Structure 1
Amino acid sequence: MKAGFISLGCSKNLVDTEVMLGILRQNGYELVNEAAEADVLIVNTCAFIESAKEESITTVLTMAEYKEPGKGRCKSLIIAGCLGQRYGQELLDDLPEADGIIGTGSWHRIMEAIEETLAGNRVVINRENEIIYDASVPRIPTTPSYTAYVKIAEGCNNRCAFCAIPLIRGRYRSRSVEDIRQEVEVLVAKGVREIVLIAQDTTNYGHDIYGEPSLARLLKELCRIEGIKWLRTLYSYPKFFTDELIEVIASEEKLVKYVDIPLQHANDEILRAMHRPDTKAEVTALLQKLRERIPGVVIRSTFIVGFPGETDAQYQELKEFLQQQRFDHVGIFTYSREEDTAAAEMEGQVPEEVMQDRYHDLKATQSLISQQLNEALEGQVLEVLVEGRTEDGMPYGRSYRQADDVDDSIYIEDDRTSQVGDMVKVRILQGFTEDLVGELVR
């Protein structure tokens, strides 16, 4: 039997896909890249915002075409992940093309779902929401051989007013330091050079099992593993960004000086309405501390425009905050009204055209900042992890300053020798709004 996977959404969802791939291979399935060759097709879906739901549904319907004679051999089409967890039987009723649903907390029952659907039964398995994989679970990384994501916790306790993740993924639950170290050791032994730690909120790691935020403890333990070149942490919320954590990032050589800290807004009234626990003053003080104590630190953040009740003045305060802070990387999103969230019922929903105007204005503001910051890198020498080549053969990659999949790239001129996975010294020649161009330092 052959199985094919399509993984949508975030890196946390990708890890779930990799775990299910491991379970299928352990049970004798051949994994294929061509949908037309698969007996079983599994779409691991995202349901974070409306556009992600639409992409998930479109992908499921596209895969359903491979059930048609002459186009494919699919006998079972399964919807996995967030969309299935959130809508369950309702989703299966609305999509007769699908044969089964398996939720985010039921990945360990993927074989049961496949066997039931192949037997002709339409099933929904999405009741559990307390499971998180551990180092003993088989896993097939789908990322390039030099980098891998490691999920250190599942779920979220923050209950931000705009976010449905706690409804989908459940309460926050951490893996143990020992279990995470065991998985990382296996990955490094296979040649992985960059480990990227992920969770819905990484700075909250360990609170549930150790009684206090324990990300600093985890990072110190992982830095003892030989073979790791870069250790990167994403989704670090400001609430538990402790002084100890800052000192660990500053002092440990293997920890890249890169902080991903989702802030979402800069106006205190909007932050309170979002159910965010931080104030603008507290966040500003934290950013100052990060820059003072971690020389060369790169800071990435994300912001939402058009949250219910956001006035022109409050938007302007956000814009001025970006101009003052000059973040290295910024993700900007328009507010998405998600059912069953607190914000969905709030008064003052901002019209779509106003949101779009603010979105494009803030994007333009940040683009200018990004270009200026990239131009300031001209002349500097950075260590670059080579990730591929353009069609005309130019290598490209990223330094500690860029995270995989979300940040810009560095293109290397007149380099015909570097191979994917190599780490090379590159002198930056030109900085642009999104990317940089450099030359190999021989």
Structure 2
Amino acid sequence: MNQATPNNATKKVHFISLGCPKNLVDSEIMAGTLLKEGFEVVGDHGDADTVIVNTCGFIEDSKKESIQRILEMAELKKTGQLKKVVVAGCLTQRYKDDLVQGLPEADLFVGSGEFQNIAKILKNSDQGDQKRTFFNLPTYLQEEATPRVNSQPGHRAYLKISEGCMKRCAFCAIPLIRGNLQSRTIANIVNEAKLLAAGGVKELIIISHDFTDYGWDLRRKNPEAKESPVELLKALTEVEGIQWIRLLYLYPDGITPEMIELMKNNKKLVKYFDMPLQHVNDEVLKKMNRKMTRKEIEEALRIIRTEIPDAVIRTQFIVGFPGETQEQFEELLEFIAEQQFDRVGCFQYSPEENTPGGKMTDQIDDATKQARFEAVMEVQQNISRDKHRAFIGKTVEVLVEGFSEETDLLLQGRTSQQAPDIDGVVLINDGQANVGDMVKVLVTDSMEYDLIGEIVVE
């Protein structure tokens, strides 16, 4: 995370934030809380005496990465470089006692229901408190006044609008970790957006577990509550200084004609639909406890493309879900080729404890899952390559992010069709611009996921 130093700092803390952007916002809140209480947040673990590993516990690979990073930091304690390793986040919340027993190398364990108290926990530990574990129900919901350090480049920020999830997909452990849906009020969210805009943020990236369910819990408690996806978007588009509003995680069964109409006609709302479809075969969808059929999915895609022809559609699929036959997989593969999605993510099914999918007896072997994953990605790579070639000769608006991650000889930016960290970028090989500038770029070449071009001076 970006370095930030308060007056009279007493302890130096470094964050390792793993997993999704929602977890990253939790890290930013912990950092803001610590700064407010006199700690120093540093950008390198070599400068820290405390490291907080904010873990992910979503799928097997993310669990392994979390454990690996914890053990790496614990090794630094042996050299005397670090004094404390704190394990926080979803993995901690999910496995509690098992993790505490299995990782004696760590000093403190803070669940997703206690992370907001991190400053108090560290201070008490420094004063000799022997308590190592801090768990509670994940009912904490941030407010606009919650201290937070934006770890992203200054021109963009994630805006978390809710916690938990009301869906009960058979493959997902999120409700077990994060609890049921809890929505922030529109006023609360808009006030935070105004603070971010005042700090120079131009792009808001709206995150939750399902944007289309936003406000359902508040409306259930109070039928007169105004909180809904459309009303929230209307309010956010009125925030001065914000130029792009990007929505992530829109479940297709909640995308309404009113929402599409608003996104079609408001320039601030990026024409980008991030919709996790997971599969397309009706039997597999039912087994996953998804609430749409193939016919309904195709209708939702048709409406979006009819109303907003230039809309970018990003989706993800799971291959190797228990019982998925070769025929059902081939139906998925044909569907991807037919639909020509702009972006596709693919996951090999990971059986999770205490989920319906994890208890199913017809699990699929790893070799089959790997082969199906590779087949999906091969089809999508060809689609992506063709779609990017179509941009050659066109001029696109690009938000400049800084030097390329590959070389400081090139600038790097994104179009409105590219979300940070999950999509490709635009590499700029001619012209000058500052970080956060909006520039016009003539696309001169393309790769599978990236565009290459030069700044056009108007």
Tell me the TM-score normalised to structure 2 length. 0.94
Tell me the SS of whatever aligns to 1:162.
coil
Tell me the SS of whatever aligns to 1:195.
strand
- 8 Å CA contact retained: 2:276, 2:317: yes
**Higher mean displacement: 117-126 or 76-85:** 117-126
Quick one: distance in 2 between partners of 1:389 and 1:115?
Answer: 39
Residue of structure 2 aligned with 1:419, choices 409, 422, 434 = 434
Summarize the alignment of residues 137-176 of structure 1 with structure 2, pairs less than 5 Å apart: 137-176=146-185
Residue of structure 1 aligned with 2:102, choices 76, 90, 94 = 94
Summarize the alignment of residues 42-441 of structure 1 with structure 2, pairs less than 5 Å apart: 42-70=52-80, 72=81, 74-118=82-126, 119=128, 121-211=130-220, 214-390=228-404, 391-415=407-431, 417-441=432-456
Tell me the SS of whatever aligns to 1:288.
helix
Quick one: distance in 1 between partners of 2:342 and 2:89?
Answer: 32
Read off the aligned partner of 2:272 and give its amino acid letter: Y
- 8 Å CA contact retained: 2:430, 2:453: no
Read off the aligned partner of 2:21 and give its amino acid letter: S
Quick one: distance in 2 between partners of 1:354 and 1:422?
Answer: 46
Deviation at 1:291, TM superposition (A): 0.7
Tell me the SS of whatever aligns to 1:42.
strand
Quick one: distance in 2 between partners of 1:160 and 1:117?
Answer: 39
Residues 171-228 of structure 1: CA deviation (Å, up to 9, x unaligned): 0110000000000000000100000000011111011112487111100011011111
Quick one: distance in 1 between partners of 2:47 and 2:446?
Answer: 44
- 8 Å CA contact retained: 1:99, 1:121: no
Tell me the SS of whatever aligns to 1:332.
strand
Quick one: distance in 1 between partners of 2:238 and 2:309?
Answer: 22
**Higher mean displacement: 108-117 or 233-242:** 108-117
- 8 Å CA contact retained: 1:18, 1:142: yes
Tell me the SS of whatever aligns to 1:139.
coil
Residues 48-97 of structure 1: CA deviation (Å, up to 9, x unaligned): 00110010011011111222244x0x322211100110111221111111
Deviation at 1:268, TM superposition (A): 0.4
Residues 100-131 of structure 1: CA deviation (Å, up to 9, x unaligned): 11111212221232134332514211222111
Quick one: distance in 2 between partners of 1:114 and 1:57?
Answer: 21
- 8 Å CA contact retained: 1:396, 1:411: yes
- 8 Å CA contact retained: 2:213, 2:229: yes
For these two proteins, the number of residue pairs brought into alignment is: 439
Deviation at 1:38, TM superposition (A): 1.9
Deviation at 1:139, TM superposition (A): 0.3
Residues 358-377 of structure 1: CA deviation (Å, up to 9, x unaligned): 11011000001111111112
Quick one: distance in 1 between partners of 2:229 and 2:173?
Answer: 24
Unpaired segments ≥5 residues, structure 1: none
Report whether the alignment pairs 1:31 with 2:41: yes
Deviation at 1:40, TM superposition (A): 1.9
Read off the aligned partner of 2:456 and give its amino acid letter: V
Q: 1:268–1:424: structure 2 CA closer, same or farther, 3 Å change rule?
A: same
Deviation at 1:431, TM superposition (A): 2.6
Read off the aligned partner of 1:98 and give its amino acid letter: A
